[in-house]
Every structure is written in C-alpha cells, then in structure tokens.
Amino acid sequence: MPFNRSVNKAQKSFLYNVCDVLLNVVIIVATVAVIRTFIVSPFEVEGNSMVPTLEDNQYIIINKFNYIFGEPSRGDVVVFHPPSDSRKYYVKRIIGMPGDKIVIRDGDVFIEDNGVERELKENYLDEKNTGRTFIAPVGTGDKSEKKYFVPNGSYFLLGDNRQGSLDSRSFRNAQGEETPYVETENISGRVWLVALPITKSHALQTPNYEQ
C-alpha cells in the first residue's frame, strides 16, 4: 500500500507539472499575440523604395498602439496594405492627409489650401531624389502637373526613393484605374525603429514640416 500511494503522488506531481507548463505556454502565446496585434510588430523591409530612410532587408518594429487612440500624421512612415492587394504589405511615408489637395509639379510636392500652395520641405530626401518627385511612371522624369484630392478617411503615400517607388502615384486596380489613396483601416502601424542590423539601429522621428 505505501508503494501505491507513492506512485499516485508521483503521477499527480507529473500531471501538475505538465499542466503548469502548458498553462505558461498558453499565457506566453496569448501575450505575444496581443502584443503583435495591438502594440508592436516586426517586419522586414523588402526593396529600396524608402532609401535612404530604410534599406532592403532591414528589420523594423512598427507601433500599432498609437493609431488605436490617435490618427496618422503627415510624415509618418507606415506599413500598410495597398488598395489593390490586401495580402501585401508596403512601407511608405504619409504625404497627403484626409481632405488635402496634393500637387506634384516640376519634381516637387505642394499642398494647396484655399487656392494657396506651399511647397512641402522634405529634408529626409537624399540628393538623388530632392526635386525629383515625378508623376507616374515615376522613372520617366515627367514633370507635368498632377493634383490629388485626398478623400476623408484616406491618405496619400510616397516612398522616399521617389524615382524607384511603387506608391500612390502608381497604384491601380485590376481594370487599370488609378487608386492612389490608402484607407485608414489598411494602415497597420507607424514604423517605430530600425531593429536590425544593430549597427544601423535607430528610432524614426516624424518630421516637422514647419521648420
């Protein structure tokens, strides 16, 4: 009898330990899922459309929490689904806010307010791209004027590599019709920091266009 009681005690102890491990695994998985869904999430940059701000194969962390209680700001670098493909993720910079009139002309970007234009001072662009924001196809150097009227609840986005970026200037649906605007619900979050490689790790700041 003492032997049987010892075996039962060992079995109970084993089952308790197994249940404890499983419970901890469930808690950890649930915590990670909540963090990735609502707070922060990692992504890998593919391509050079955001050079020099972001480079190919860099790992970035996006902040989702800010957009739960607030709205995106002009200049935010964000991860989003393009209008024509909800399976893909792109990373670009918000240029046009809801209700904005955006004008692209002579390689520069302007915001029109009550008929008055002001040039957007984009100090984050490198020498190759400064003054070279052309209309689509973006690599042709077409300096023609084009206006975009951003609807409420939507945004106009451009890559920092203006001559090598598939962005709001180029987005089209299956019928070939222009779909330049990204709706709020398709924006996953703001790029918070570059995590890898460690040698280039840094936080991203939203530019102040008033300076």
Q: Is 92 one of the catalytic residues? A: yes
Q: Which of 64, 92, 154, 168 is catalytic?
A: 92
Residue 88 neighbours by CB under 8 Å, 6+ apart: 81, 82
- pLDDT tens track for 2-46: 545 555 655 656 565 655 555 444 444 443 444 444 445 889 999
- pLDDT tens track for 111-167: 988 788 999 999 999 999 999 999 998 888 888 999 999 999 999 999 999 999 999
CATH superfamily of 71-191: Umud Fragment, subunit A (2.10.109.10)
Q: Is 49 one of the catalytic residues? A: yes
Q: Which of 12, 41, 49, 146 is catalytic?
A: 49
Structural domain boundaries in the chain: 1-38, 71-191
Q: Shortest CA distance to 74 belongs to which of 207, 194, 167?
A: 207
Phi, psi of 13 (to 5 degrees): -65, -40
Bridge partners, residue 190, by sequence: 63, 78
CB 165 within 8 A of CB 49: yes
